Amino acid sequence: MNNNNTIQLTYREALKQSIRQALQKDERVFLMGEDVGRYGGAFAVSKGLLQEFGPERIMDTPLSESGFVGAGIGAAIAGMRPVVEVMTVNFGLLAMDQIVNNAATLYHMSGGQVNVPLVLRMSSGIGRQLAAQHSHSWEPLFAHIPGLKIVSVGTHEDARQVLLAALEESDPVIIFEYTSMLNLESEISTNPETVDLVHAKIRKEGKDISIITYGAAVYKSLEAALDLAAKGIDAEVVDIRMLRPLDETTIFTSVSKTHHALLVEDAWRSISISSEISALIMEKSFYELDSPVQRLGGVEVPIPYPKHLEDACVPQKEDIVKKVIKMLHHD
Amino acid sequence: MIEFTMPSLGADMEAGTLSEWLVKAGDKVKRGDIIAVVDTQKGLIDIEVFDEGVIQKLVTKEGEKVPVGSVLALILSDKEQGNVKEEKPEISPIIEAKATEKVAVVPPARIKASPLAKKIASDQGIDLTNIKGTGEEGVITKEDVEKAIAAKEKPQEVKRAASSETIRMAIAAAMSKSNKEIPHYYLQTKIDMRNSLNWLSEANKQRSLKNRLLPVALLLKATAKALTIVPDLNAYWENGLQRKADINIGFVISLRGGGLMIPAIHDGAKKSVDEIMATLSDIIPRARVMKLRSSELSDSTITVTNLGEGSVETVFGVIYPPQVAIVGFGNISEQPWAENGMLDVRPVLSVTLAADHRATDGHIGSRFLTELNNILQNPEAI
Amino acid sequence: MTEQEIRQLIFQLLKKIAPDTEPEKLQPDDDIRHTLEIDSFDYLQFIVAIDEQLELDIPEEDYGKIDTVKNMTNYIISKKTKKV
C-alpha cells in the first residue's frame, strides 16, 4: 500500500534499510557478526547486503562474541565505524567483559584520548518460542553501565532511523532490536524524521495517565491506549527509547500533565528500567502524583518454551488495560 | 462529650449551611474562638464556640445544610479528658501520665491523600479532614480535592445573590411571626434632650475626632441602664417570661441595599458610653458587609431601633421574637417645651416602647420610659 | 490644594464610606447627608477620614458649615489657608 508519503514495510526491512543507508553514506561503516554475510543474518536482517557491499564490509565472524566485539572495539579505536551484530542479547553476555571493561571505560581510562565509536546491535526479548536460551530482555543490565548509550527500538520509524543516529556518536552505542517484531508490518513515512539519541518520544498524547514504556511493549501499550480510549480514558504513551541516558524531562513533563504513571516493560520486574524511572519520579515529581507509580514487568522466571506460558511471562495489552483501569478506578 | 450545634441566628432561622470549618479534628479551642462559618439568610456568619476542649470530630461537612440544633462537631472538654485519665488502670504514675498525654492530644486520624491532592489542598487552603477519598482504599485524590474546592466556591456565589432577597425573606418571616403571635402594646413619651446634648457636646470637646460620641451611643447606654431597673423587658417569651441576665441590645442597622441587620451590643449595662461607641464603630461597618459573629446575631435580649436620622419623629417597632420589647427613637428636633409654667424651645426626642403584653403590662413599660427619661436628664451620672 | 482637588477628595472619601452611592452626582448645594442617605455614624467616619487626609479636626459646632459640597470645600480652603 504505497502512496506518495508512506511506505508499508516490516520491522526487519526497516532495519535493513538503515544498515544499507549507513553503508552507502560512510565508507568507514562495516557490518560484522555471526552469519550476517553468507547466511543473510540469523534473522535475515542483512540478507543481500553481502552481494551489494562485498565481504570487506559485510563480515562473517566465528562464534565468539568476546572476540568479535573486541575486534569491533579495536576497529572503532582505529578510526572505522563498525556495526557489530550480536545475534541475541543472551549471547551478548559473553561479550560483557569487552563491553564493560573496554568499550565503556576506555575513554575514561585514556584520560579522554581514546573514543570508541562502536555500534552494537542486539536482538532482545521473546521471539517465537525460542525458549530461555534466546528470549530474555537484558536491557536493564546494559543500561546500568556508565559510558554506554543504550537505545531501544520500539517502532518501525526508529528501526529505520536509529542506526544512522548511533553512527554519529563518538562513543559506544548499544541498539536493542526486538525479535518478536521482525515480521510486523507498519506504515512509515518515506522520509521519516531523524531521531536523536537524547529524547524520549511521545507515541500518543493523552491527559489521564502516562504509560511509560520501551521496546516490544511500546506497540502493546499503544493498543492498550486504544482500548482505554473506548472506555473514556485518555492515556499518553511515552516511548522512553533512550534507556541510557534517560530523557527525564519528557518523562516528568508527561507525569506532571497526567499525574498518574504506569511503567511497562518486558524485562524482569525487579531492578529494571521501570525501577529506575519510578525512583526518579519519586525524587523529582513526587508532588505531581495523584496515585502511586505502578509497574508491569516480566514474570521473574526463565522464559518458558510453550506459547501460552511465554505469553504469560510478559505484560500483554489486556494486562495494561486492566492495570490502568484499576489505577484510575474506572471500573 | 460536648455537642457543638448549629446555632439559631434569629427566630426565623430553621437551617444553615456549614460553609467552612476553621478548625480540624485535634485542634484545641477555647470559649469565643470562631471555629466555623455558616451560610444563613443573613449572609456568612462566623460561629463561635462556647466551650473549652479539643475538637474530637467534625460531624457536618462543608457545604452541608442542616437544621438548627444539629450536631456540627463533637468537642472533648478538658474535664472529660481528665475523666478519661481516671478510668485508666493505675499501673504506675509514669505510665499513667504517658497514657493521659495520648488521650488528651486526640491525634487526628492519619489522612491518606495523594501527594498531588495534598499539594493542591495546601495551595488552596483546603482542609483534607472532611474530604471523602474516592481513590484506592479511600485515598483522597486530586479529583476529590477539586470537588471540595468547587463546593467551597459555590456557596459563596449563592451568598452574594442571596443577600438582599433572602434577608427580605428572613425579615418577612420574623415580622409575620411577631405580628401573628405577639400582642403588642405601645407607649410613647417625649424627652427633653437639652442636658444630654450639652453633656455630649462637652464630652466631645475633650475627645479626639475619632473618639467623638454620637447621641445614639448615649441613648443605648441609657436604655441598658434603665433595663437594669426594669429587667422584665430584657427577656424572652418562651413558655413564660425568661429574664436574661446580660443586657444585650440588638441595634437595628439598615443596609443601604435594603433590609437590615440587628447585631447585639453585648453587656450594654456594663459598658461605658465610650465603649458602646467603640462597639458601634466595630459592628456597624461589619454589619454593612454582613460579616457578623454568631453571638452578635443570636444573643440580643431586646431591640433598639433608631430612626432619628431622617425627619421621622416617632417609630413604633415590631418586636423581634422571642424578645418581649423594642425601643424606638425618633429624631431630636427643636420643639416648644412647657416646664414650670414657662415656655421654652428644647431639643426633644420622641421615645416609644412596643412590648409583649403576654410578658408585661403597661405599668412596667411606663416605668421603663420614666427611668430612661431620668437617666437622660442626668447624663453626667451615667 | 485646589478647589477641584478638594472636591475630588470629598467624592472619593464619600464613595469609600458609602460605596453604593454616587457622590460625584452631588450638586454643589445638595445636602450631602440627605442626598446620599448617610447616617450620623457614617458621616462621623467621613469626617474622621477628612482629618486623616488633610489633618483637619472639624469641631462639632462646625458640622453645620460642612453640609454641602460647596460649603465643605470653602470650609476646607479657609481652614487650610489659615494654617499656612
pLDDT tens digit string along B333-366? 999 999 889 999 999 999 999 999 999 999 999 9
Per the CB < 8 A criterion, the answer to whether B319 and B184 are in contact is: yes
Q: Which residue type occupies B2?
A: I
Q: Which grid cell is C83? A: 494654617
Give yes or no: residues A23 and A147 share one domain. Answer: yes
CB A18 within 8 A of CB A161: yes
In chain B, what is the straight-line distance between the N-terminal and C-terminal CA atoms, in Å?
Answer: 44
The one-letter amino acid at A216: A
Q: How far is C3 from chain B (nearest CA, A)?
A: 24
* Residue C39 Cα, gap to closest chain B Cα (Å): 6
From chain B, the residues in CB contact with C48 under 8 A are: 209-210
Say if residue B193 is in the same domain as residue B138: no
Query: Do B129 and B216 have their domain in common?
Result: no
Contact list, C45 vs chain B (CB under 8 Å):
285
Q: Do chains A and C touch (3 or more CB pairs under 8 A)?
A: no
Closest CA to C68 of C21, C31, C25, C22: C31
Q: Using an 8 Å Cβ cutoff, are B236 and B242 in contact? A: yes
Q: How many domains does chain C have?
A: 1
Cβ separation A291–B135 shorter than 8 A:
yes
- Of B12 and A57, the structure prediction assigns the larger pLDDT to A57
Residue with cell 445544610: B65
Domain that holds residue A217: 201-328
Pairing between β-strand A242-244 and β-strand A149-152 as defined by DSSP bridges: antiparallel
Q: Count of CB atoms within 10 A of residue B171's CB?
A: 20
State the smallest CA–CA distance between residue B335 and chain C in angstroms: 19
CATH of the domain at A256: 3.40.50.920
**Contact, A217 vs A266, CB < 8 A?**
yes
Q: Are residues B79 and B207 in the same domain?
A: no
Query: Cell 488502670, residue?
Result: B89
Residue A330: its pLDDT value, please?
54
All 3 cell numbers of residue B252? Answer: 437595628
Is A258 part of a structural domain of the chain?
yes
Question: B181 vs chain C: nearest CA distance in angstroms?
Answer: 33
Q: What angle do CA B269, B272, B274 make, to 5 degrees?
A: 140
Residue C67 in domain = yes
DSSP C4-47: HHHHHHHHHHHHHHSTTS-GGG--TTSBHHHHHT--HHHHHHHH
User: Residue C84 domain-assigned?
Assistant: no
Distances (CA, A) of B213 to A97, B191, B226, C44: 96, 19, 20, 9
pLDDT at A2: 46
First to last CA, chain C: 12
d(CA A218, CA A224): 10
- pLDDT averaged over every residue in chain B: 83
**Domain count along chain A:** 2
A155 lies in the same domain as A223: no
With contact defined as beta carbons under 8 Å apart, do A84 and A46 qualify? no
pLDDT (0 to 100) of residue A299: 96
Per-residue pLDDT at C65:
85
Q: In whole angstroms, give the CA distance from residue A215 to residue B289.
A: 64
Q: Is A16 exposed, middle or buried (0-12, 13-18, 19+ CB in 10 A)?
A: buried
CA pair distance B244, B296, nearest whole angstrom: 15
Q: Is residue A1 part of a domain?
A: no
Shared-domain flag, residues A256 and A295: yes
Give CA–CA dist A158/A242, Å, rounded. Answer: 11
Q: Are residues A263 and A182 in the same domain?
A: no
B146 touches A at CB < 8 Å:
no
Q: So what's the pLDDT on residue C8?
A: 86
Q: Does A227 share its domain with A319?
A: yes
What CATH number does residue B76 fall under?
Answer: 2.40.50.100
Kindly state the DSSP code that residue B9 receives in the 8-state scheme: -
Give the neighbours of chain C: at least 3 Cβ pairs within 8 Å. Answer: B
Show which subunits contact A, needing at least 3 CB pairs below 8 angstroms. B
Alpha-carbon gap, residue A228 to A205, rounded angstroms: 13
Same domain? For A119 and A238 the reply is no
Q: What is the ipTM of this complex?
A: 0.81
Distance, in angstroms, between B309 CA and closest chain C CA?
A: 6
Q: What is the pLDDT of residue A29?
A: 98
Residue that wins the pLDDT comparison between B92 and B319 = B319
What pLDDT, in 10s, does the model give residues A160-188?
A: 999 999 999 999 999 999 999 999 999 99
Which domain covers residue C29, as residue numbers?
3-79
pLDDT band for A222, please (50, 70, 90 cuts): very high
Grid coordinates given for A63: 562464534
Residues of A with a known catalytic role: 65, 134
What confidence score (pLDDT) does residue B163 get? Answer: 62
- Predicted local distance difference test score (pLDDT) of residue B161: 41
Judging contacts by C-beta atoms under 8 Å, the chain B residues touching residue A259 are 114, 116, 142
CA A269, A161, A219, A198 torsion: positive or negative? positive
Average pLDDT in the A265-294 region? 96
- Name the burial class of residue B136, with classes exposed (0-12), middle (13-18) and buried (19+) by CB atoms within 10 angstroms of its CB: middle
**A38: which residues sit within 8 A by CB, 6+ positions away?**
A50, A60
Flag whether residue A227 sits within 8 Å of chain B, measured between CB atoms: no
Residue B114 and residue A289: Cβ atoms within 8 Å?
Answer: yes
Same domain, B71 and B203: no
Question: Per-residue pLDDT for B64 more than 50?
Answer: yes
For residue B3, the model assigns a pLDDT of 84
Most confident of A68-72, B84-88, B119-123, B143-147: A68-72
Q: Which of C20, C45, C61 sits opposite B257 (nearest CB)?
A: C20
- Are A32 and A181 found together in one domain? yes
Tell me the C-alpha distance between A264 and A254, whole Å.
15
| Structural domain boundaries, residue B120 | 2-156
Of B106-110, B272-276, C12-16, the range with the lowest mean pLDDT is B106-110
Same domain, A216 and A275: yes
Range in B84-93, B121-130, B204-213 with the lowest mean pLDDT: B84-93
Q: How many CB atoms lie within 10 A of CB B83?
A: 11
B227-263, pLDDT tens digit by residue? Answer: 999 999 999 998 888 899 899 999 998 887 778 888 9
Is the preceding peptide bond at A245 cis, omega within 30 degrees of 0? yes
Clarify whether residues A219 and A283 are in a common domain. yes
State pLDDT tens for residues A113-137. Answer: 999 999 999 999 998 889 999 999 9
Residue B162 lies in a domain: no
C60 and B256 in contact by Cβ < 8 A? no
Which residues in chain A (249-268) have CB-CB distances under 8 A to chain B? 259
Average pLDDT over residues A228-233: 94
Same domain, residue pair B334 and B259: yes
Rounded-to-integer distance, Cα B115 and Cα B138, Å: 14
| Same domain as B213, residue B101 | no
Q: Are B325 and B319 in contact (CB under 8 A)?
A: yes
Asked if A291 is an interface residue toward chain B (Cβ–Cβ < 8 A), one would say: yes
pLDDT of residue B108: 55
Nearest CA in chain B to A259: B116
For the segment A67-90, what is each residue's pLDDT rounded down to a tens digit? 999 999 999 999 999 999 999 999
Asked whether residue B28 is domain-assigned, the answer is: yes
Residues of B in contact with C18 (CB under 8 A): 256
Distance CA A238, CA A262 (A): 10
- One domain, residues B257 and B341: yes
How many residue contacts between A and B have a Cβ separation below 8 Å?
Answer: 31
A138/A160 same-domain check:
yes
Q: Indicate the range of A1-5, A221-225, B120-124, B309-313 predicted with least confidence.
A: A1-5
Contact A289 B135 (CB under 8 A): no
B202 pLDDT higher than 50: yes
Last residue of a domain, one of A189, A213, A231: A189
For the cut 50, the answer to whether the pLDDT of residue A152 exceeds it is yes
What average pLDDT does range C41-55 have in this prediction?
85
The pLDDT, as a whole number, for residue A259 is 95
Does position C80 have pLDDT exceeding 70, yes or no?
yes
Q: Which pTM does this prediction carry?
A: 0.52
Question: Which of the residues A259, A286, A290 would you substitute to probe the B interface, choosing the one with the greatest number of B C-beta atoms within 10 Å?
Answer: A290
Q: What CATH number has the domain bearing residue C27?
A: 1.10.1200.10
- Tell me the angle at which helices A273-285 and A248-258 cross, rounded to the nearest 10 degrees: 60
Q: Show the 3-state SS of chain A.
A: CCCCCEEEEEHHHHHHHHHHHHHHHCCCEEEEECCCCCCCCCCCCCCCHHHHHCCCCEEECCCCHHHHHHHHHHHHHCCCEEEEEEEEHHHHHHHHHHHHHHHCCHHHHCCCCCCCCCEEEEEECCCCCCHHHHCCCCHHHHHCCCCCEEEECCCHHHHHHHHHHHCCCCCCEEEEEEHHHCCCEEEEECCCCCCCCCCCEEEECCCCEEEEECCCHHHHHHHHHHHHHHCCCCEEEEECCEEECCCHHHHHHHHHHHCCEEEEEEEECCCCHHHHHHHHHHHHHHHHCCCCCEEEEECCCCCCCCHHHHHHHCCCHHHHHHHHHHHHCCC
Residues B103, B192, single domain; the answer is no
Report CA dihedral (C1, C5, C7, C13) to the nearest 10 degrees.
-100
Burial of B182 (0-12, 13-18, 19+ CB in 10 A): buried
With respect to residue C50, please indicate whether it lies within any of the assigned structural domains: yes
Total number of domains constituting chain B: 2
* CATH number of domain containing B284: 3.30.559.10
Per-residue model confidence (pLDDT) at position C39: 82
pLDDT of residue B155: 54
CATH of the domain at A28: 3.40.50.970
Q: Which of B208, B214, B281 sits opposite C40 (nearest CB)?
A: B214
Residue B80's pLDDT band (boundaries 50, 70, 90)?
A: low
Query: At residue C8, what is the residue type?
Result: Q
Closest CA to A142 of A214, A80, A63: A214
pLDDT at B88: 43
C5 pLDDT higher than 90: no
Please work out, in degrees rounded to the nearest 5, the angle formed at the alpha carbon of residue B152 by the alpha carbons of B151 and B155. Answer: 85
Q: C-alpha cell of A263? A: 511503567
Whether residue B196 has pLDDT greater than 50: yes
Amino acid at A286: F
Q: Are residues A255 and A127 in the same domain?
A: no
Looking at the domain assignment, is residue A105 inside a domain? yes
Q: A161 and A226 share a domain?
A: no
What is the C-alpha separation between A221 and A211, in angstroms, rounded?
7
Same domain, B332 and B194: yes
pLDDT over 90 for what percent of chain B? 33
A260 versus B173: which is more confidently predicted? A260
Q: Which pLDDT does position B378 carry in this prediction?
A: 92
